[in-house]
Amino acid sequence: MNKIRLIFLILVLVVTVVCLSLFHKFQAPMDSRMGKISEFKITKISGNGKIYLYNRPIEKNDFTALKPVDIKRMQYSEAMYLKADSHTSFEFYCLGTSFNVLPKSYLHYHPQKKELHFYSGEFYWDKRFRPRTKKKSMAVYIREPRHMLMLSDSGRARLGENSTEIWNYSGALKLNVDEEEHDLTANQLFIWTISPVGNQRFSRRDQTPPIQIIDILPMPRNIDPAKSDIVLNKPDDSIVRFNWRAVAGTPHYIFRLYSSNLRENILVERSLEVNRVNLDLLQFEERVFYWEVFPVDPVNQRQGVPSEMGEIKLVGYLLGKKNVGKPPELIIKSLTVNGNLVIIKGKADPNSQLFINGESVKIDLDGEFITTRSFKGLGRKQILFKLISPLGIETIEERYVTIYEE
């Protein structure tokens, strides 16, 4: 009996040890399960160029003493200065935060001090790999140690020659500039007008407000396609209809299509006055595409919070067979003058975008459109039609009407 009881106790002990081991494994902070990623690690380099590494500050435009980075052989035990060339962006993780560094950007990391410095360029951050355990916010020095940024959940920083712009996309963000603290909530932009003095130092300009904090437009939601494989069985399958929910307060957007999710190669950038755009993706050599859209404030022209990044992959037997481009069809059926108002009816390729005197016009699924334009003053007036196909090919037509009365 004692022997059975002993065996039972041993089994209970073994099961308990195994359960505790599994529990601690899955409850451990994500950073600890990812090895040294919690400190600093370059995880991806994109583009056709290189990023360069040096162990002391880089002189302006001096690449002669720099060595290209090989992420497979990268050592993270010593202080490093990193600069991307004009063709390359890269991704790194530091203390639970993901960073997207755009071309021509320059930064410094000191592993012993755990200090991260941004000197110039453009940076996106996202705390998607933040540990489950509560930690203090991550600090980044902007240009020099007396300017410190406590990172929010997500955002973007652009350090130009004469200004610093910091977009706070989500969460709470804190800035300490010349011992002055500034707090930003989500959907706010910090603008700091500066002028270089000496080596990486600044002085404020008297003639302009040195610091501004303004509200920006929120993220466009319901992007489509968000993540999709597009099968090319017939030529029109390569025409992708990008759309998103309209953002209140603006009709203006900037649409960008990339070859990489690191944003270094913009294949298409369009300013739009509608929340949709059609593109023929067979015009490009790439087979995987990424896209996002920024709302633009109609008053100050500032970009707001970008949408989530969509991903598209082309598959099918038509790969490698580019569509032969031809001008899209445009038929102007009638122009009816009523006082100073002109009623315009017509038909156009429904996959194309139509602009009349620079203003976007909606085409229905059958290709029909009807719209009106008003004119000031009497006399002969020009109406300019521009129809742009998904391949970017334009059809342009001019018509004239005479206004006899207002």
DSSP string, 200-268: TEEE--SSS-SEEEEE------S-BSSEEEEE-SSGGGGEEEEE-PPPTT-SEEEEEEESSTT---EEE
pLDDT of residue 130: 55
- Give the integer Cα–Cα distance in Å for 127 and 148: 18
**Encoded amino acid at 385, one letter:** F
- CB atoms under 10 Å from CB of 224, counted, come to 13
- Give the integer Cα–Cα distance in Å for 340 and 402: 9
pLDDT of residue 96: 82
Task: Tell how strand 67-68 and strand 51-54 pair up.
Answer: antiparallel
Please say whether the dihedral angle defined by the alpha carbons of residues 266, 268, 272 and 276, taken in this order, is positive or negative: negative
Alpha carbon distances (Å) from 10 to 3, 14, 19, 23? 11, 6, 14, 20
- Give the integer Cα–Cα distance in Å for 19 and 96: 27
Q: Identify how many contiguous H helices and E strands the chain contains and give both numbers.
A: 2, 32
Could you give the domains of the chain? 30-215 (2.60.120.1440), 227-315 (2.60.40.10), 330-403 (2.60.40.10)
- Give the integer Cα–Cα distance in Å for 248 and 237: 32
CB of 255 within 8 A of CB of 291?
yes
pLDDT of residue 209: 63
Which parts of 63-109 fold into alpha helices (H)? none
Alpha carbon distances (Å) from 313 to 219, 253, 272? 24, 24, 24
pLDDT one digit per residue (tens) for the chain, 406 residues = 556 666 666 666 666 655 555 444 433 333 333 333 347 889 899 877 788 888 766 665 555 556 787 777 777 888 889 999 888 999 999 888 899 999 999 999 988 888 899 999 999 999 865 555 455 567 899 988 889 999 999 999 999 988 999 999 999 999 998 888 999 999 999 999 875 544 444 444 445 568 899 999 999 999 999 999 988 877 678 889 999 999 999 999 999 999 999 999 999 999 998 899 988 888 888 899 999 999 999 999 999 999 999 999 988 756 655 555 578 889 999 999 999 999 999 999 888 889 999 888 989 888 999 999 999 889 999 999 999 888 778 888 889 999 887 7
* Closest listed residue to residue 164, CA positions, set 216, 116, 212: 212
pLDDT of residue 202: 43
